[in-house]
Amino acid sequence: MSGIPWVLHVDLDQFIAAVEVLRRPELAGKPIIVGGRGDPTERAVVSTASYEARAFGVGSGMPLRIAARKVPDAVILPVDHEAYLAASEAVMATLRAQPGATVQVLGWDEAFVGVETEDPEAYAHRVQAAVLARTELHCSVGIGDTLVRAKVATGFGKPAGVFRLTAGNWLDVMGSRPTKDLWGVGARVSARLAKLGISTVAELAASNPQDLVPEFGPKMGPWYAQLGRGDGASVVDDTPWVARGHSRETTFQHDLIDPVQVEDAVRELTAHVLEDVEAEGRAVIGLTLKVRYAPFLTTTQGKKIPETSDRNEILARAMDLAAGIEAGRPIRLLGLRAEMAMPDDARKGHTPTRGGW
DNA sequence: TCTGGGGTCCTAGGACCC
DNA sequence: TCTGGGGTCCTAGGACCC
């Protein structure tokens, strides 16, 4: 195959809700909210809402009980990881089967596809048709000359459409939009940019990268300036992903106070984290314990330990960290992260949101 | 009845070394 | 008595993404 190299960003439309509708067709067209164990009286948040539910102002990250209040008629379903993973794998297999495609998976429901073609729109439509035929799921496709432009383009294609963003039309389309619309700029960074007199993408694109260094540091400053222009890497990298670490978090339905309960919780957390680590046969080189004291004060402590894959050793280290928990103070959440030793050649992997692009 | 759970990377500042 | 300058390693915390 010959042609110009293009980056396609493929993103499934309301993925989780769509998967739920597939196995329960009677839910089609209804406001669907997926989150937690599907019980709006529990502490949990929304994972996904269908378009019908979003019309009521429900979005992911919102507390489930608030969402339920906003949409009294909503169908509220529990999160079913296995079902979404299976659907995701079918989608990714379909993408990999496309002629000339290099596939870089970004998450359950999205991936970059690198391809050389004279007609990226035609290719995108073939991808959409193939995914639909194989999985009955609709997707939107962004086309770009960089990864960032392809990723941003997808938003203009939704639902089920195709949109192209290149150096040629980037500023026309994005220039007057707030910096928050960029991939990698959230509420905090956009507020800090505004403090520097930069509110729009065009203003960020025109900024001098060095001017951003005092505020954001030597890497992030220039990185944001580049992001404003939509510039960056254009190579889709299908190198298999090597996880840097694994973590588990638990929010307690009732705050923990009893130190014995806290100890048990840390022990259980450690066991869960180790399941993931051991499944990969990796060694642990660091542990971090996260504690959220009710209501919202979150602290972290820990890290570096001598490299080991010994269960008891790791458990002992985790319990050492647990000893630093303030006694008698109600705890709402506990999290444990294990940092893993990296194979030498995998240290420099691609990453969706930072550096390298 | 406010705030999930899984990730990644960057930065600031202290400790320590020569 | 005063106190360089470069470097590395580490922790805690911040920010963002799906």
Instruction: Give the strand pairing for A331-340 and A284-293.
Output: antiparallel
Q: How confident is the model at residue A346 (pLDDT cuts 50, 70, 90)?
A: low
Distance of C1' in C16 from CA in A223, Å: 14
Q: What is the DSSP letter of A178?
A: B
Rounded CA separation A272/A110 (Å) = 27
pLDDT tens digit string along A197-237?
Answer: 999 999 999 999 989 998 898 889 999 999 999 999 999 99
- pLDDT in the model for residue A47: 87
Distance of C1' in C13 from CA in A61, Å: 22
Domain A170-229 has CATH 1.10.150.20: yes
Which tokens go with A194?
């505004």
Considering A122-131, A204-213, A334-343, the range whose residues carry the highest mean pLDDT is A122-131
- pLDDT in the model for residue A240: 83
Nucleic strand C within 7 A of Cβ A81:
no
- pLDDT in the model for residue A151: 95
Which tokens go with A304?
């570096």
- pLDDT in the model for residue A133: 97
Proportion of chain A above pLDDT 70, given as a percent: 96
Domain A1-166 has CATH 3.10.100.10: no
Q: Which residue has the tokens 């060095």?
A: A210
A82 classed as catalytic: no
Q: How confident is the model at residue A350 (pLDDT cuts 50, 70, 90)?
A: very low
Distance of C1' in B3 from CA in A342, Å: 33
CATH, domain range A245-340: 3.30.1490.100
Residues of chain A with CATH 1.10.150.20: 170-229
The pTM (predicted TM-score) of the whole model is 0.90
pLDDT tens digit string along A309-330?
Answer: 999 999 999 998 888 888 888 9
pLDDT tens digit string along A136-162?
Answer: 999 999 999 999 999 999 999 999 999
Looking at the DSSP assignment, which residues form a beta bridge with residue A287? Answer: A303, A338
* Mean of all residue pLDDT scores within chain A: 90
The alpha-helical segments, DSSP class H, found in chain A are 15-23, 51-54, 64-70, 81-96, 120-135, 147-157, 170-174, 187-195, 201-206, 213-229, 259-279, 311-322
Which of A277, A236, A273, A213 lies closest to A102, judged by CA? A236
The catalytic residue among A20, A52, A110, A339 is: A110
Proportion of chain A above pLDDT 90, given as a percent: 61
Residues of chain A with CATH 3.30.1490.100: 245-340
Nucleotides of B under 7 A from a protein CB: 1-12
Among all strands, which nt has the closest C1' to A276 (CA)? Answer: B6
Among all strands, which nt has the closest C1' to A302 (CA)? Answer: C11
Q: How many CB atoms lie within 10 A of CB A295?
A: 8
- pLDDT in the model for residue A45: 84
Nucleic strand B within 7 A of Cβ A5:
no
Residues of chain A with CATH 3.30.70.270: 1-166
